[in-house]
Amino acid sequence: MTARSTDADRIAAGIADMYDAFLAGDRARFDSHLHPEVTTWETHLPGPLRSRAELDAYRDGRDAAGQRPALDRLDATALRVDVWNDTAAARYVLVAVPAGSAHAEESRVTDVLRRDGGRWLIVHHHSERVSVGERS
């Protein structure tokens, strides 16, 4: 196994762990995959969030209002990871199934990662909701 494929495997495992942590309600474990200055751009957010502090403020308000998503499934599918030295890009379709629903929601996601102290951390997360099955 090459170093490049090992890094890609580590990144893929990290992304899977991040979404498992979300389902488990383990915010600290979820956040362990994010750089402190991560930018977060998602379709449903009130605008781009330019740091983890801004992301935390958004999540704190959402959670205090009882609006944290309850999901039966959240995972990355059709994952592709490319690594260039200490930089990587992960592209995937994020599948979310709301609790008690049979209908999946899909988002196209691009994560940009940097190697930081031997760990791969997400420095930019971009997610766009799409119609189920619209993956191009």
pTM over 0.95: no
Residue 132 is predicted with a pLDDT of: 78
Place of tokens 């199934």: 97
Q: State which H helix or E strand residue 81 sits in.
A: strand 71-84
Q: What is the mean pLDDT of residues 50-63?
A: 95
Classify burial at 41, counting beta carbons within 10 Å of its beta carbon; exposed 0-12, middle 13-18, buried 19 or more.
middle
pLDDT, tens digit, 9 for 90 and up, residues 96-131: 999 999 999 999 999 999 999 999 999 999 999 998
pLDDT, tens digit, 9 for 90 and up, residues 19-37: 999 999 999 999 999 999 9
Which residue ranges form the domains of the chain, and what is each CATH number?
Answer: 3-130 (3.10.450.50)
For the cut 90, the answer to whether the pLDDT of residue 95 exceeds it is: yes
Sign of CA dihedral 116, 27, 52, 109: positive
Q: Which of 70, 91, 67, 88 is nearest to 80 (CA)?
A: 91
Q: State which H helix or E strand residue 23 sits in.
A: helix 3-24
